[in-house]
Chain A
Amino acid sequence: MTEVNENQKYIVFQLKDEYYGVPVNVVGSIERIQRITRVPNTPSFIKGVINLRGVVTPIIDLRERFNMEPEEYSEQTRIIIVHLDGIDVGLIVDGANDVVDLNQDAIEPPPEVIGQVSVDYIKGVSKNDNRLLILLNLERVLSTEEMDKLASVN
């Protein structure tokens, strides 16, 4: 992402009652929930892998990733496929149905306490249509280093 003073599009999704955003340029597609093949001996937030048009793609449950209580998948549940630094991952979210334009100026640094997600995973926040949009730091969310640490704890 370039730090130019321009508008950028974000995909908005929900986790519980909070709204999150990821830049549209890292999102490959948004899928409905489908059968996921479990991969044993991995952290519990990794739900497994799916066949995404011929590519075997790992799926992360974002609720579990952020230590929120899990919820049954519903008609609204979506998988957001993101590409980042050669990693393709699907993120399970409660719902995704909006795209917003955000001006870089409108993004503020994350406050110390916000929602349920550790501040490490947040790049910034932005007010939009009377709701607070939390912009995720995907690099951190998908950091495999952290995953290794988690795996060793489990």
Chain B
Amino acid sequence: MDTNQYLEVFIDESNENLQVVNDRLLDLENNSDDLTIVNDIFRAAHTLKGMSATMGYEDLADLTHKLENVLDAIRNEKIKVQPSILDVLFDSVEALEDIVGDVSNGGDGKKDVSSIVTKLQAIEAGEDLVSNGSLNKPVSSKGESTIELDEFETTVLDEAKSQGQNIFDINVSLAEDCLLKAARVYMVFEVLEKAGEVIKSIPSVDQLEDEQFEESFQMLFVSDEDADTIQAKIFKVSEVNDVQVNTFNPVNSASNLKEVKNVAEEEVSATVEDSVKDTNKEQKKAVGNKTIRVNIERLDALMNLFEELIIDRGRLEQISQSLEHQDFRETVERMTRTSSELQNVILTMRMVPIDQVFNRFPRMVRNLARDLGKKIDFEIEGAETELDRTVIDEIGDPLVHLIRNAVDHGVEMPDERIGQGKSDTGKLLLKAYHSGNNVFVEITDDGGGINKDRVLQKALSNGIITQEQASNLNDRQIFELIMASGFSTADQISDISGRGVGLDVVKNTIESLGGSIEIDSELGVGTTFSIKLPLTLSIISVMLVVLDDDTYAIPLSSIIETAVINKNDIYKAHGREVIDFRGNIVPLVHLRQVFNFNDMYENDDYYSVILVRKGDQMAGLVVDSFIGQQEIVLKNLGNYLRDVFAVSGATILGDGEVALIVDTNALIK
């Protein structure tokens, strides 16, 4: 069967289904008893299996098939959901995403999935012993139901077994109305310590002492005595409702061990709760609307045509001004209004919720926190905020970097946090919201904050700033130093983020999108990265100015105001021309100099100055004269001309001429 024509649909739908699986798995992590969630995942996986088999992607079909088997077993309550199983499920989804990604990049969708398939099969087949041992009862505290063994514990168990001791998996439930749970736990432990050795308890002893569990807890116990004796002894402790003592089989545990060993922090699971709620809301809303699927290329084509129209509109406006024909002028004005509305409609059509980017972060944070042994409560706000598709496509990587950075360098290790009197679980908030013609994205952590002195020292030793400059910087300028190239504050280089490159790339990417990034931080309290992005990249408002015979465009977003300055009001400071602008000393930049014109503009006693800003800094750009404000269509200079200094792109004016767009960020240092 020729399947090529369906490929696009296949990729779209596969991604949608994978997203459902992903989202619902995160849900499941928090509500391991909710079988409706499992049903949702099962359905999505089933669809995916059918589609991939039809399309002939065998690895994909194979893996989804195994996934489906495990899900089916969970659905039929043959397997209990546990963190170890969830990890394997997440791994499977990741592998599936890789395959679909490969297919959409023109690959053949082949991938070695055997190791994951083996794990899935192991879960499907070997679950009985595990569930017998520990999970006959629904475990009330979320997620914490597996017995995870580190190497030390495995060794102890192996030794005990070789010495002929019994290993028991003991599950104790206290009475619901038990008042002094910690005391009862203590008594149970005391009884057990007399008869043998408690290797491990779930939750941990510390958590048990803090009463951080509901009614039941679980232990691995090594003893010479038999199960019944132990059970009887525990029952002697009052307010104990139920005791189950089962033989724990280390051989079986060893097979689970590999999957389980790396699981360090299930607590992260708690983290995703809010974001998931958010997504759910989003999905429900989407169902309510009537939608059609449109190829992005068609939208791009529509946008391109509209851009042509804008250029012609500019031309018509020019003609109508010179013609002084009443009817003509009115018609042009009406057309201008209509096309502005049309522009809004087209722009809205291209808007997609930022959730498309955000939705991969909960799992990323979960994995990062697990790998680093940190506890992180990750929240997402404003995932429904909409941005132009082109911005969405570009913003993912910078955000990944900033979030990794926050997890790695921002949030401290749990014991360190406790030492500082904070909760051991760090908070990480990712928030998006609209304001005016911009979208703001903020990443806030309640970690250690940025150490200003260390930043300054590092910047000095790396030669990024001089001693003199260092003494004049305000807080925000100091924080900005960490985004200078060749700067890294992390004491250790880690795999997760940072080899001294990165934040400068983030900054450059954001600025190339016409946005800006600011950092706020307080030592010991936390750090906020705040990104400001334009709603759209393709049509912007500019001020057109004249330099010699050429027209240049300066984005309105960076302009504070325009001024005509008498040459007598210009001072010299450190050999540079400066002006006093409302009490601020602002350096002047002659655009003719920047752009290598042969001669300077020396016509009269006044300078035409455009005051622009970048963060807290300002500069006055000297031009020959102003033309006026206009909406223009942003065009790039093509692949041949890359990185032209102080030029961010070009546009086509009403008369068909090309005007270059000034990159004011490059002019302010």
Interface residues of A (CB under 8 A from B): 35, 37-42, 46, 48-51, 54-58, 86-89, 142, 144, 147
Are A37 and B550 in contact, CB atoms less than 8 angstroms apart? yes
Are B657 and A35 in contact, CB atoms less than 8 angstroms apart? yes
Are B594 and A40 in contact, CB atoms less than 8 angstroms apart? yes
Are B644 and A42 in contact, CB atoms less than 8 angstroms apart? yes
Chain B residue numbers with a CB within 8 Å of A147 are: 640
Are B656 and A89 in contact, CB atoms less than 8 angstroms apart? no
**Once the chains are docked, how many angstroms separate the CA of A73 from the CA of B640?**
23
**Once the chains are docked, how many angstroms separate the CA of A41 from the CA of B645?**
7
| Known contacts A55-B635, A57-B638: A40-B658 contact under CB 8 Å | no
| Known contacts A41-B645, A56-B650: A87-B660 contact under CB 8 Å | no
Are B638 and A58 in contact, CB atoms less than 8 angstroms apart? yes
- Interface of A (DSSP majority class): strand
Are B645 and A49 in contact, CB atoms less than 8 angstroms apart? no
Closest to B594 in A: A40
19 A-B pairs whose Cβ atoms sit less than 8 Å apart in the complex: A37-B650, A39-B647, A39-B660, A40-B594, A40-B644, A40-B645, A41-B646, A49-B660, A50-B658, A51-B658, A54-B304, A54-B308, A54-B652, A55-B635, A56-B636, A56-B638, A86-B639, A88-B639, A88-B640
**Once the chains are docked, how many angstroms separate the CA of A23 from the CA of B211?**
80
**Once the chains are docked, how many angstroms separate the CA of A59 from the CA of B273?**
55
**Once the chains are docked, how many angstroms separate the CA of A144 from the CA of B642?**
9
Chain A residue numbers with a CB within 8 Å of B550 are: 37-38
Are A87 and B647 in contact, CB atoms less than 8 angstroms apart? no
Chain A residue numbers with a CB within 8 Å of B645 are: 40-41
Closest to B652 in A: A51
The size of the chain B interface, using a CB distance under 8 A, is 28
| Known contacts A35-B657, A37-B550, A41-B595: A49-B647 contact under CB 8 Å | no
User: Chain B nearest CB: distance from A143 CB in Å?
Assistant: 10
Are B637 and A58 in contact, CB atoms less than 8 angstroms apart? yes
**Once the chains are docked, how many angstroms separate the CA of A69 from the CA of B656?**
31
Q: Which 10 A-B pairs have the closest CB atoms?
A: A40-B595, A37-B658, A41-B645, A56-B650, A56-B635, A87-B639, A87-B640, A58-B640, A51-B652, A58-B641
**Once the chains are docked, how many angstroms separate the CA of A46 from the CA of B641?**
9
**Once the chains are docked, how many angstroms separate the CA of A38 from the CA of B28?**
60
**Once the chains are docked, how many angstroms separate the CA of A58 from the CA of B649?**
12
Closest to A53 in B: B308
Are A49 and B637 in contact, CB atoms less than 8 angstroms apart? yes
Contact of A40 among B596, B636, B642, B652 (CB under 8 A): B596
User: Chain A nearest CB: distance from B301 CB in Å?
Assistant: 12
User: Chain B nearest CB: distance from A51 CB in Å?
Assistant: 5
Known: A49-B637, A56-B650. 15 other contacts (CB 8 A): A37-B659, A37-B660, A39-B644, A40-B645, A41-B646, A42-B641, A48-B658, A49-B650, A51-B657, A55-B635, A56-B638, A58-B637, A58-B641, A87-B638, A144-B639
Chain B residue numbers with a CB within 8 Å of A55 are: 635, 638
Chain A residue numbers with a CB within 8 Å of B652 are: 51, 54, 56
Chain A residue numbers with a CB within 8 Å of B639 are: 86-88, 144
**Once the chains are docked, how many angstroms separate the CA of A82 from the CA of B646?**
27
Whether B311 is near chain A, meaning CB under 8 Å from some CB there, is: yes
**Once the chains are docked, how many angstroms separate the CA of A151 from the CA of B646?**
15
Contact of A88 among B308, B638, B646 (CB under 8 A): B638
User: Chain B nearest CB: distance from A66 CB in Å?
Assistant: 17
Closest to A49 in B: B658
**Once the chains are docked, how many angstroms separate the CA of A92 from the CA of B645?**
24
Are B640 and A144 in contact, CB atoms less than 8 angstroms apart? yes
Are B641 and A49 in contact, CB atoms less than 8 angstroms apart? yes
Between A40, A46, A48, A88, the greatest number of chain B beta carbons within 10 A of the residue's beta carbon is seen for: A40
Closest to B641 in A: A58
Chain B residue numbers with a CB within 8 Å of A51 are: 652, 656-658
Closest to A86 in B: B639
**Once the chains are docked, how many angstroms separate the CA of A35 from the CA of B640?**
19
Closest to B659 in A: A37
Between B594, B596, B635, B638, the greatest number of chain A beta carbons within 10 A of the residue's beta carbon is seen for: B638
Between B595, B641, B644, the greatest number of chain A beta carbons within 10 A of the residue's beta carbon is seen for: B641
Interface positions of B from 538 to 591, Cβ below 8 Å from A: 550
| Known contacts A40-B594, A41-B644: A56-B637 contact under CB 8 Å | yes
Chain B residue numbers with a CB within 8 Å of A41 are: 595-596, 644-647
Between B304, B307, B635, the greatest number of chain A beta carbons within 10 A of the residue's beta carbon is seen for: B635
Are B641 and A39 in contact, CB atoms less than 8 angstroms apart? yes
Closest to B308 in A: A54
Chain A residue numbers with a CB within 8 Å of B660 are: 37, 39, 49
**Once the chains are docked, how many angstroms separate the CA of A56 from the CA of B636?**
7
- A-contact bits for B595-611, CB 8 A (1 contact / 0 none): 11100000000000000
**Once the chains are docked, how many angstroms separate the CA of A47 from the CA of B644?**
14
Closest to A37 in B: B658
User: Chain B nearest CB: distance from A54 CB in Å?
Assistant: 6
**Once the chains are docked, how many angstroms separate the CA of A49 from the CA of B642?**
13
Interface positions of B from 612 to 669, Cβ below 8 Å from A: 635-642, 644-647, 650, 652, 656-660
Chain A residue numbers with a CB within 8 Å of B638 are: 49, 55-58, 87-89
Chain A residue numbers with a CB within 8 Å of B304 are: 54
Chain A residue numbers with a CB within 8 Å of B641 are: 39, 42, 46, 49, 58
Are A40 and B657 in contact, CB atoms less than 8 angstroms apart? no
Closest to B639 in A: A87
**Once the chains are docked, how many angstroms separate the CA of A51 from the CA of B651?**
9
**Once the chains are docked, how many angstroms separate the CA of A114 from the CA of B311?**
47
User: Chain A nearest CB: distance from B153 CB in Å?
Assistant: 57
Chain A residue numbers with a CB within 8 Å of B647 are: 39-41
User: Chain B nearest CB: distance from A150 CB in Å?
Assistant: 13
**Once the chains are docked, how many angstroms separate the CA of A55 from the CA of B638?**
9
**Once the chains are docked, how many angstroms separate the CA of A42 from the CA of B642?**
10
Closest to B650 in A: A56
User: Chain A nearest CB: distance from B557 CB in Å?
Assistant: 21
Closest to B653 in A: A51
**Once the chains are docked, how many angstroms separate the CA of A82 from the CA of B597?**
29
**Once the chains are docked, how many angstroms separate the CA of A58 from the CA of B659?**
13
Chain B residue numbers with a CB within 8 Å of A42 are: 641, 644
Chain B residue numbers with a CB within 8 Å of A144 are: 639-640, 642
Are B596 and A142 in contact, CB atoms less than 8 angstroms apart? no
Between B652, B656, B658, the greatest number of chain A beta carbons within 10 A of the residue's beta carbon is seen for: B658
Closest to A88 in B: B638
**Once the chains are docked, how many angstroms separate the CA of A72 from the CA of B357?**
53
User: Chain B nearest CB: distance from A154 CB in Å?
Assistant: 11
**Once the chains are docked, how many angstroms separate the CA of A49 from the CA of B658?**
7
Chain B residue numbers with a CB within 8 Å of A38 are: 550
**Once the chains are docked, how many angstroms separate the CA of A51 from the CA of B657?**
7
Chain B residue numbers with a CB within 8 Å of A56 are: 635-638, 650, 652, 658
Closest to A60 in B: B640
User: Chain B nearest CB: distance from A152 CB in Å?
Assistant: 12
**Once the chains are docked, how many angstroms separate the CA of A110 from the CA of B644?**
34
**Once the chains are docked, how many angstroms separate the CA of A40 from the CA of B307?**
26
Closest to B596 in A: A40
Are B646 and A37 in contact, CB atoms less than 8 angstroms apart? no
User: Chain B nearest CB: distance from A87 CB in Å?
Assistant: 5
Chain B residue numbers with a CB within 8 Å of A86 are: 639
**Once the chains are docked, how many angstroms separate the CA of A80 from the CA of B647?**
25
Closest to A147 in B: B640
User: Chain A nearest CB: distance from B538 CB in Å?
Assistant: 13
Chain A residue numbers with a CB within 8 Å of B657 are: 35, 37, 51
Contact of B640 among A37, A40, A50, A89 (CB under 8 A): A89
